[in-house]
Structure 1
Amino acid sequence: MKIAVVGTGYVGLVAGTCLAESGNDVTCVDVDEQKIRALQSGVVPIYEPGLEELLHRNMKARRLHFTTRMEEAAGTAQVVFIAVGTPQGESGDADLQYVLAAAEQIGRALRQYTVVVDKSTVPVGTADNVRETISQVAKVEFDVVSNPEFLKEGAALEDFLKPDRVVIGTDSERARRIMGQLYAPFVRTENPILYMDTRSAEMTKYAANAMLATRISFMNDIAALCEKVGADVEFVRKGMGADRRIGYPFLHPGIGYGGSCFPKDVKALVATGREHGLELDILHAVERTNARQKRCLLTKALRHFGELADKTFAVWGLAFKPKTDDMREAPSVELIEGLLGKGAKVQCHDPVAAKVAQRYFGNRVLYAPSNYAAAEGADALFLVTEWSEFRRPDFKRLKSLMKSPVVFDGRNVFDPAQMREEGFTYFGVGR
């Protein structure tokens, strides 16, 4: 098929590249001329394992193209995906200005029947707004489909190429048939395509992310209680997860969730409820717990040291999760700002996110070339992001480099008993 993808951010670039990998002719369009020039030269603006190689392969095969001209991308496409940003508004709701602006441009560019697909995460009812916007300017038939993305940063290619489900919201049999053909190569393992109306599809995305965020905050509340009563949350987690009704995914306690999805989507769902006169009390609690959890390592450090001024701290991990350079709503940001605010010095290391971190901290922190370099002369180490290379350090070397052997483990990566044997003062989460 001939496909257009509007927006070359995280979702658009992954979707466009993966659709090209399945044999489609894909043109990605963006208003950012500098980004398009870079992509045309093969420069990928985000870090996602495997994406650069896949992009280069499909560009070489002439299946993947980049342009700033909407007419060139959408004018002859059978399917056009809208994958632009939906930033958080002042009241927590999603700002749809970019979605609706893209819809109008698409409507003006259409030259034949086209399926227009909302791929961005959008509030319930957005498909109706997009349909109305396009209908005011389009001179041909079209259908609007809701097809929310379920991509985990760090595993996005696998999620797109081998999805556990594809959600398609449409009332049009014609659009349903085209979308089914488009996704057929990705669901050969019998994982389902779930067809539904557009509003249910839009709600499914928010509900799924809100549930996962709820599990995280629930476990963080349990972890806080474990610390009060002298229990070990790791044993509790294993005991809970063994129940098949509960399972293990997203039951790991830590220092809160971040990224581009969970914080924004929970707030947007709360805003949608409020707009319709419904207070979603559970999700309010999810947000409060997450905000508290992002402060927990700083609280532990203040309790241990008293004063943090003139102390030096190492921070391992800046991205909100491993295998990405995304620092949006990352717990590291609140921790480091808290440390700096108390007069401490920070030496940090992340395998891929240091360049992004400079937008947040500038020259206020030291960006170390390795995790061991970050630990040199440190009064304590904060483990914030559980990158694989941080899981099994040389503890003797680490201890020799640090001014004092104190570790605040925000992801419960290390074994408390081993840390004590190695001579460290150790603080985990719920342990």
Structure 2
Amino acid sequence: MTQETLLTGQVLSFARSPFEGDPTAATVVTEAVLIRDGRIAATGRAADLRAAHPQAELVSHGQRVILAGFVDPHVHYPQTAMIASWGKRLIDWLNHYTFPQEMRFADPAHAADLAARYLDLTAAEGTTTMCSFCTIHPASVEAFFTEAQARGQRVVAGKTCMDRNAPEGLRDTAQSAYDDSKALLEKWHGVDRISYAITPRFSPTSTPEQLAAMGALWAEHPDCLMQTHLSEQTDEIAWVRELFPQARDYLDTYEAFGLLGANGVYGHAIHLEPREKDRLRELDAALVHCPTSNTFIGSGLFDMAGLMAAGHRIGLATDTGGGSSFSMLRTMAAAYEIAHLRHHSLHAAQLLWLATVGSARALRMDDKIGNIAPGMEADLVVLDLASTPAIAQREAEAEDLWEAIFPTIMMGDDRAVAEVWIGGRRVKS
């Protein structure tokens, strides 16, 4: 039986990128969105849609803003329990916090518990899709996909592959990484709303043999995404030079083994060489900005303005748990602050686009999620622009919609997320 729901409010969608010309001219604001059987059926004037669909359930949101659910294209769900851990740089941070936590995912029950916890926490923040690294344990992938499938949620994930520079118990081999990844890919990729990402953690934790095996698997399944890390910290880059003395640069450690391509998703990408920028742009690979992580563990300042002006495909991510928040609102605020440190101001429309359409583009899913348009999957977030006294008093002074939205981006948290819909089903109200 067909089910229809009509949401009314300030429905915000994007007609084009707000990084091209006037940011506000890239947006469209209507009064209502009609959901039918898990998809967006129509947008338009509330009275018109109500008259045409009198049987639809009506959910009125007044002046709240309705937009596509947030898309988080670079996370580590196994790091949920260690988020906001104190005082380490990347390599020490991995050894001191990350690897001990990931060892626990040898227990399938623990993996199932953390998968459910992570998806609960992120849904409360308005995140409806994410691309996650798992651990080396196939059970960590099974747990995440099983929980997401039960929720009808669109997710991407993959078994993290590491065969060196990691503790005993967190190392696989080139062959087992290939075999396990292939088995998981063949079982899950394309099932319901689930996609598989081939996932070498980063060059320092994979031998050339393992990187070659992952490149071979990607060549066999080029429709899959491949996710990894790139040029996050300067000491990491120096380590890569020691491990791969023959490589031209960090990116070459992936390119040489078939791990550079249009469906590649490269997290961080802060300290890029000119050749790396040129190759990434040439192939239209995706870069993912992780601002709370970059400040929290002292990585550096991503060049949003320069890379966007050069034509790169860019998404915005929390990088849980190197990132210090599950919230994409907090992530947008941090992106604004980092851009300001590079003498550039990001408009509220640009920040919202990065957290929705831009991140969906990074995952090659902008035909399905990240925007509100007929035929798109009905993943939605409803923002209360007066969720706290501090935000409410600032919003009351706003002279237009964008001035009203910006305080919620800068100061908002889960209290600002009034309602969340995933696949046409309300999961937070």
With the shorter chain as reference, the TM-score category is under 0.3
Quick one: higher RCO (CA 8 Å, sep 6+), 1 or 2? 2
For normalisation by structure 2, the TM-score amounts to: 0.26
For normalisation by structure 1, the TM-score amounts to: 0.26
- Structure of larger gyration radius: 1
Higher strand share: 2
